[in-house]
Structure 1
């Protein structure tokens, strides 16, 4: 396994938890949609500058990709909106456990069926048990 990539992904997870906390506070102060917009705007500007200096692709080729591949930005905006909305109400841990459970279950279905051009990786009993544990964790984290 490539440890550098694994560490990078781990740090990305840390960033998601910190980002959810920051965005939740931002949404409380300026409004949910406004907070999500401002977060995306700052991220867009940041990525634009990084792309100018380090980008190796061609953003203009976006006109040649299947249109469904451009939906990722909409899904990303929806994710940021849901975090800005939910974190102040249910907390960072509950929001992220719900997101993680949904990500793992959905990504396993994508793998299982080979949707969106992904390699097929069948769901087996071990993965189903993992889903059960994820849902149990969600229940325990959100139980009052």
Structure 2
């Protein structure tokens, strides 16, 4: 149940962040907004680590470079998301964003990429992905 709560919260916050970032980028530019967002996220994360007194950051040297580069991917996500919101609006951007995430998630599960346990992908998973695509087409219509 906690997983569902966190997934829903993440989805809500992602949408709010998309709108806020697009608005900020109108004033200061897209890459500047991405920088501000990354920086404020970094500050919050550091504060949480300090408050929780979590010392596991000492294990950073054990993290493979591929995974440690997640912040680079986040900057690209922010830029592409803000640009899409400006061009298509929030609803269509998030809809297509979710389809891309779901398609990528299916591939990661099916192939076991990034040290994930392989999952069986069947007709129901493919049908769900197709329904998401149809849903976005209906939203666009």
Q: TM-score scaled to structure 1, two decimals?
A: 0.90
Q: Does 1:47 align with 2:41?
A: no
Alpha-carbon distance in structure 1 between the residues aligned to 2:91 and 2:133: 14
> 1:41/1:142 Cα in 2 relative to 1: closer, same or farther (>3 Å)?
same
User: Deviation above 4 Å: which 4+ runs of structure 1?
Assistant: none
1:133 to 119, 131, 134: 131
> For structure 1, which segment, 62-71 or 114-123, has the greater mean C-alpha deviation from structure 2 after superposition?
62-71
**1:83 match:** 81
**1:17 match:** 15
Q: TM-score scaled to structure 2, two decimals?
A: 0.92
> For structure 1, which segment, 47-56 or 24-33, has the greater mean C-alpha deviation from structure 2 after superposition?
47-56
**Residue pair 1:27, 1:35 contacting (<8 A) in 2 also:** yes
Structure 2 residue ranges without an equivalent (≥5): none
**Residue pair 1:20, 1:84 contacting (<8 A) in 2 also:** yes
Alpha-carbon distance in structure 2 between the residues aligned to 1:131 and 1:63: 38
Across the two proteins, how many residue pairs are aligned to each other? 141
Q: CA deviation at 1:58?
A: 2.0
**Residue pair 1:28, 1:88 contacting (<8 A) in 2 also:** no
> 1:55/1:136 Cα in 2 relative to 1: closer, same or farther (>3 Å)?
farther
2:57 to 46, 56, 59: 59
**2:2 match:** 4
**Residue pair 1:24, 1:85 contacting (<8 A) in 2 also:** yes
